[in-house]
Chain A
Amino acid sequence: MTQIFEKPLYPYARSADQDAATPVRHPVVIVGAGPVGLAAALDLGQRGVPVVVLDENDKVSHGSRAICFAKRTLEIADRLGMGETLVEKGVQWNLGKVFFGDRKVYEFNLLPETGHRRPAFINLQQYHLEQDMVARLRELQAEGAPIDLRGGNRVTGVKAHDDHVALSIDTPEGPYALQADWLIACDGAGSPVREHLGLGFTGRVFEDNFLIADVTMQAEFPTERWFWFDPPFNPGQSALLHKQPDGVWRIDLQLGWDIDREREKEPVRVKARVRQMLGPEVTFDLEWVSIYTFQCRRMERFRHGRVVFAGDAAHQVSPFGARGANSGLQDTDNLCWKLAAVIAGDAPEALLDSYDAERVQAADENILNSTRSTDFITPKSAMSRIFRDAVLDLSERHEFARPLVNSGRLSLPATHDGSPLNTPDALPGGPARSRPGAPCPDATFETGFLLDRLGRGFTLMGLGVQAPQVPGTTPLSVADPDDELRARYLGDAPSALYLIRPDQHVAARWANATPATIATALSRATGATP
C-alpha cells in the first residue's frame, strides 16, 4: 500500500502576491483544502469566479477519515466533473449485518430504488477523494479556470471589514497579506478563522472515545457492513467493520471515556483487539490507527458579513450516519451558485442569507440524526440501555423492531421547507418528495438521467407541458413523461412546471404558470423579491 498521504500534492510555491507592495485583493479566498474547500474551489472555478485556496499543508489528509460518501455527494461530484472517478474507485455494498452480544440478530439489504444514476453511497477513503479533487482542479486550471491553490500558506490573522476581509498569511518564506471580497472558511472543526474572529461554537460533548484502525486483510471477507452492539471482543461497547478500496477495511471500536489514549493506540494492543474481532485465522496488517472523540455543535450563524463558514468549521456532528463531509459538500453546493450570482451582480447580497437559513436548518437536522444514533449506540442512562437492549433482543425475531435499531442513519440531503427562496407549492396532487425546497430526485431520462440534464443555472422543467421561454432559465420539456418521472414529479397531477435551482433543489412548481408568475418565482429564488 502506497502511503498516498505522505506525498506533497500542492507544494508551496512563491506567489507574485508575496512581492506586491500593497496587499492584493481577490474576489474569493477559500481557507482550507479539505474536501469542502476543494469542492468550493471547483464549483466557483467552473463558474469562472477567480478563487485563491490557502492551506497550511500540502498533502491529502492523513488516514482514511471520512469514508462514506452518500448519493447526494456523488451527484454534486457529477456537477463538479468527477462523479464517475469516485464511483469507479469506491466500494459499493448493500448487505448489512447487525450483531448483539455473540449472535447475529438480523441482516438487511438496502435494495436501493432504481432509476438513479448514483448508488445510495460508496465507501472511499477521504485521501482518495481529495486526490481526485486536486486532479480535477489541475484539469480545470489547464482549461483556464481561475483557481490558485497555495500549499504551505497558513492564515495567522483575519480582520473582517464592511467591504472586504484582510488576511495575514505565513509561508516557509515569511509572511504576507491578502485581501478578499469574500472569504469562505472551510478550515475544519478547529477553524482558525473562527478563532481569529472570536466566534462561538457551542453544543454537546460526548464522553466517549473511538479507536479507528485501517487494516489490510489477506483473506476473503464479504463486502458487507457489520455492526456489533456489546460484542464479546469489546464488552459493553460497539464495533463497526466495513470495506474500503485497495483491500483496506475500516474498523471502529468504541472504547468508553476513561481510557489511556496513548496505551490504546499501541500497535500491539490494537492488533490484539483486531485479532479477537476477526478471529485467529485471519492475517492482517495495520495501516493507520487513530483515536477520536466527538461533539455535536454548530455556529449560531454561518454567514458573518463577508466571511462564510462551511463544513466542519460551521458545524460538527458525530461520525454515525456519515454526515460530516457529506453535509460539507452540500454546504458549498448551496453556497457557490449564490456567491457567483452576487459577485456577478445578478443577485443582491441578501441571497447569501438564504445560505445561512438553509444550511443551519440542514445542520440541525444532521445534528439531530447523529445525536440520536449516538444515543442508541452509547446509551446515556441505565434505562436507555435497557430499552436499547430490548430493541436489539426483539430485532432478532420480530421485524417491527428493526427500524428502531439505529447504528447510523443514511445521510440524506435536507429539504428546505420554509426557505425564503421557495414559492408556495402550486401543484395539487404533486409528490411530497419533490415539493419546493426538496433536492430533485434523479430519474431515468431519455437515454441518460435527469440530474445530468440540469445545467449550471436555473432550469424550467415542463412535464406533459411545454416549458415556456423565461429569461434567466433554461427550458427542459418532456411531452410524455414515463411512469417513473410521473411517480417522482407528477403524482396525481397530469402535468407540471418545475423551477429548479442551480443546486438542483426545487424552487417552485405549478400545474401550469404564466411566464410572469415564473419570473416572480425566479426573482424570489435569487433573493431579489421577498
Chain B
Amino acid sequence: MTRLVLSPNIDAPDNLYADLLAAHEGLSETESAALNARLILILANQIGSREVFRAALDAARRR
C-alpha cells in the first residue's frame, strides 16, 4: 500500500521551490489561484489514491 510521504523526498529542493515561484511570477492573484488549482489537480491525478490524497489534505490542514 502506498502511503503519504512526509519525509524529505524532493531531489533538488531549492531548484524545485524556485521552479514553483517562477511559475507564478508576473501572474495576478486570480491567475495564480487558477494555476495552483490546475497544479493540484494534476498532482492529485499522479497520486490517484483517495486515501493518500486525504492523508495529504489532513497534513495540509494541520500545518
Contacts and interface: CB of A to CB of B under 8 A. Distances in A.
A387 B38 CA distance: 7
B20 interface: no
B34 A391 contact: no
Contacts of B41: 387, 390-391, 394, 401, 404
A365 interface: no
Contacts of A401: 41, 45
A390 B45 contact: no
A386 interface: yes
B42 A386 contact: no
A494 B41 CA distance: 43
Nearest to A389: B34
Interface string A397-409: 0101100100000
Interface residues of B, number: 8
A327 to B, nearest CB: 26
Interface residues of A, number: 12
Contacts of B42: 394, 398, 400
Nearest to B46: A400
Interface in A386-437: 386-387, 389-391, 393-394, 398, 400-401, 404
A303 to B, nearest CB: 35
B7 to A, nearest CB: 27
A383 B34 CA distance: 9
B33 A386 contact: yes
Interface string B19-41: 00000000000000110011011
A221 to B, nearest CB: 33
Nearest to A395: B41
B57 to A, nearest CB: 13
Nearest to A382: B33
B45 A400 contact: yes
A386 B37 contact: yes
B29 to A, nearest CB: 11
B34 A386 contact: yes
Q: Which of A386, A389, A398, A401 has the most CB of B within 10 A?
A: A386
5 contacts: A386-B34, A394-B41, A398-B42, A400-B45, A401-B41
Interface of A: 383, 386-387, 389-391, 393-394, 398, 400-401, 404
Given A383-B33, A390-B40, 14 more contacts: A386-B33, A386-B37, A387-B37, A389-B34, A389-B37, A390-B34, A390-B37, A390-B41, A393-B38, A394-B38, A394-B41, A394-B42, A400-B45, A404-B41
Top 6 A-B pairs, shortest CB-CB distance: A390-B37, A400-B45, A390-B38, A386-B37, A387-B37, A386-B33
